Chain A
Amino acid sequence: MIDKNSTTLLSIKNLHASINTTEILNGINLTVKSGEIHAIMGLNGSGKSTLAKVLAGHSAYEVTAGTIEFEGKDLLALPPEERARAGLFLGFQYPIEIPGVANTQFLRLAYNTIQAQRGKDELDPLEFDDFVREKMKLLDMKPDFLDRSVNEGFSGGEKKRNEILQMALLEPKLSILDETDSGLDIDALKIVANGVNQIAHKDNAIILVTHYQRLLDHIVPDFVHVMQAGRIVMTGDKKLAMELETRGYDWINADQRLATGVNA
């Protein structure tokens, strides 16, 4: 929801980033305020996940120009764990499996780290167990996921639910959900979308990276951005997503050329 009294959470200016000297982000500008839901769409390989990982602080990417401010602070100066503690959350497109680490142990460790950062009480294993089981109900997850290793042998959809469970536990200010809808069946999509909607409120914000309009039927975005070759080339409201669904991305190129006066 767009709100006049909202504060700016994220401000990205002219962001350039490369990996192994190949430039992937090519001048991104984006402002996200509290209470807002943004969707980022775009063709495969346009740089959506790269943007998400640069925001989370992945060390493989080098930021070559531009700035990112999170609540007015220089995000790029912080290591990944401090970004998380400051309230940034990345739901991964491909959540990694960690054999040998019990999901419950991992979730509690993450939860208590963030709680300590916020000056709040940490939970012991028993207290945490009650707490996490409540949150799992929200996402219709079976309790036996707690005893298994982190994401190990989880189906694609189960991994995505585990990501949203972490989001629900950590209560971030800004969540970037990278294709959380991919791999979800229609029922799961509704459950996850419903979970996200319950977590969303006027003081936090969400960036949804998605290829599909159907997610945006459940989580209605305030802004829709189109990424192409490492830049945001068009921004609109939820109608833009519908247009993309029917027309694809080609027309954007034509519009772009018109707008910039470049001949084909």
Chain B
Amino acid sequence: MSNSVTNSNDYLQYLLKSWSAKSASELTGLNQLRASAIDSVGTQKLPNKHDEEWRFTDISPLTRLTYPPSQQQSRLQFSDIDKFCLQNTTNRLVFVDNHYSPDLSNVADSQIQILGNLHSLMSSHASTIESHLGHYAKFDHDIFTALNTAFLHDSALIIVPAKTCITEPIHLLFIASQQEVSSYPRSLVVSGPDSKVTLIEDYVSINQSSYITNTVTEIRLAAHAQVEHIRVQRDSKQAHHLANCAVSLADSSQYQSICVSLGARISRYNLEVQLTGENSNCTIDGLTLISGQQLSDTHTSIDHVKPNCTSRQQHKCIVDGTAHAVFNGKIKVRPQAQQTNSSQSSRNLLLSNTAKVDTKPQLEIFADDVKCAHGATVGQLDSEEIFYLESRGLSKTTARNLLTYAFAADVINRIPVASLKQQLEQIVLNQTQGI
């Protein structure tokens, strides 16, 4: 490659140069945020394996992938994306290579919700946007958040007014269609007091090409708000996927996250949940299903700031081939967060002798009157269970698939959108078809 650069600083400089070539006047209201993010990029470097947070995930191959930001060029038709759309889901925002596509999008009920491209809603909702965007996903200690913010362009914006219940799930569909580009999807969800919304954040690709997706999602729940957040990463198996999601919960709010990670050659998902209000509660279910040479790293942090909050987390990894899954689950209980009730479970299934998993709970508990339970297991399919199924005529492959599916079932069954649930069931049932 002609643009090959080898060290982290050159790489970052290269990326920034490629961006400033674009028109800078597009996002007048947000130029300040972008400018500080650009400055911040200048002071950071790409993490390497000596950084504790990146111990298992070698991100250095990125410096060899000097992919410029994606340009608006693809003209996808609805027939191209039909297979990604979910039945009975009419609220849909579609971004192709992170360029908002109004033609492919659909907003069912614009009366009760504010939903669309942040870019075009900037003038009418400037103050809401400015008081939330960049407030939860901080860029000064994370290079990828800094890059995403520096490259801020089209973004999904959902504002749910107070006392509003949106019954239809909102599908945010991020489609990669070009190869050897970088795109920087961004989403902001602001849910008002006593509101309720279900959101599906979905990363897909048109072809199995190489590209970089660097995403940031911010979700703010006001008092008594309820947000169900389903995240599906099914990027190309050649792609790199870097993601940060920051969630902030006010009093008595409820956040439910189901995160399914299937795609990408290398992926990293950081989920940071801050329980900043009393009596708030979060449940986080994660499923990583990888094979071949994939590497999938999930880092979560649940920060109990205030008293009387609960968090429940389970993370499951199913790893085949020579793939490598990483789970690091931090639970922090601050001194004033008494009566915290928190549980975490990490369960891992290795489908081959060469598959690998690193799992680590990380408890930082500074309050004394708390309940915190955690546990981790790593295992293989049970040969007696396989034999039982075979003795009823099921082939070895079918038996393994069924048991693999069974392992994943209690995460997938939590997905409240039937069509998405069925799609994922099929993917898991076919996972070990190759054997």
Contacts and interface: CB of A to CB of B under 8 A. Distances in A.
Given A100-B409, A106-B402, A113 B388 contact: no
A100 B405 contact: yes
Contact of A110 (B382, B387, B393, B405): B393
A128 to B, nearest CB: 15
A100 B387 contact: no
B406 interface: yes
Nearest to A81: B390
Contacts of A117: 393
Interface in B350-405: 382-385, 387-396, 398-399, 402-403, 405
Given A79-B396, A81-B395, A98 B406 contact: yes
A101 interface: yes
Contacts of B403: 98, 100-101
Nearest to B384: A96
A110 B406 contact: no
A157 to B, nearest CB: 18
A98 B385 contact: yes
Given A81-B394, A96-B384, A106 B409 contact: no
B393 A100 contact: no
B407 interface: yes
A170 B391 CA distance: 11
A84 to B, nearest CB: 4
* Most chain A Cβ neighbours within 10 Å, of B387, B398, B405, B409: B387
Contacts of B393: 81, 84-85, 110, 113-114, 117, 170
Contacts, number: 74
A230 interface: no
A92 interface: yes
A96 B387 CA distance: 10
A56 B391 contact: yes
A100 B409 CA distance: 6
B406 A80 contact: no
| B-side interface size class | 20 to 34
Interface string A56-71: 1111100000000000
Given A100-B407, A101-B403, A166 B388 contact: no
A70 to B, nearest CB: 14
Nearest to A150: B388
Contacts of A166: 392
B398 to A, nearest CB: 7
B391 A109 contact: no
Contacts of B394: 81, 109-110, 113
A41 interface: no
Interface string A105-120: 1100110011001000
A72 interface: no
B58 interface: no
B8 to A, nearest CB: 44
A27 interface: no
Contacts of A109: 394, 398, 402
A95 B387 contact: no
B388 A96 contact: yes
Given A96-B385, A101-B403, A80 B410 contact: no
B221 to A, nearest CB: 31
Interface in A198-227: none
A96 B389 CA distance: 10
A90 interface: yes
A101 B390 contact: no
Interface string A69-93: 0000000000111011100011010
Contacts of A59: 383, 387
Interface in A106-148: 106, 109-110, 113-114, 117
Contacts of A83: 391
A153 interface: no
Nearest to B407: A100
A156 interface: no
Contacts of B384: 96
A99 interface: yes
B410 A81 contact: no
A80 B390 contact: yes
Contacts of A89: 391
Contacts of B407: 100
Contacts of A113: 392-395, 398
* Most chain A Cβ neighbours within 10 Å, of B393, B398, B410: B393
* Most chain B Cβ neighbours within 10 Å, of A84, A98, A170: A98
A92 B387 CA distance: 11
B17 to A, nearest CB: 51
Nearest to A83: B391
Interface of A: 56-60, 79-81, 83-85, 89-90, 92, 95-96, 98-101, 105-106, 109-110, 113-114, 117, 149, 166, 170
27 contacts: A56-B391, A58-B387, A79-B390, A80-B390, A81-B391, A84-B391, A92-B388, A92-B391, A95-B388, A96-B385, A96-B388, A98-B385, A100-B410, A101-B403, A101-B406, A101-B409, A105-B402, A109-B394, A109-B398, A109-B402, A110-B389, A110-B392, A113-B393, A114-B393, A117-B393, A149-B406, A170-B392
Interface of B: 382-385, 387-396, 398-399, 402-403, 405-407, 409-410
Given A98-B389, A101-B402, A149-B406, 19 more contacts: A56-B387, A57-B391, A79-B390, A80-B387, A81-B391, A81-B399, A89-B391, A95-B388, A98-B385, A98-B388, A100-B407, A100-B409, A100-B410, A109-B398, A110-B392, A110-B394, A113-B392, A113-B394, A170-B392
